[in-house]
Amino acid sequence: MVRKLARLAPEPRRDYSLAALRSTMAAWSERARFRWALAQMAKDNPHLIDDIGLTSWQVEEEIAKRFWRR
């Protein structure tokens, strides 16, 4: 009987606003652009990577992340 009632209980509704969606998409877009620019910098001007205080390993790790990862 308890199982039957648990299945009938509605899922809690999550309210997402359009503003929150736009904010999330903007953050994803910014991360993708940043990682693309970082990859280009590492390829074209590797000496600049040292100037900003990153190692090549850190750069490769950042570039490999998906756009939704921080």
Local structure of residue 4 (DSSP, 8 states): H
Per-domain boundaries in the chain? 35-70
Report the Cα 57 to chain-centroid distance in Å.
19
Q: Are 63 and 46 in contact (CB under 8 A)?
A: no
What's the average pLDDT block by block, 10 residues per block, for the chain (70 residues)?
61 80 96 97 94 94 95
Residue 26 host element (H or E): helix 18-44
pLDDT at position 44: 96
pLDDT at position 7: 66
Q: How far apart are CA 36 and CA 41, in angstroms?
A: 9
- Report if pTM > 0.85: no
Local structure of residue 69 (DSSP, 8 states): -
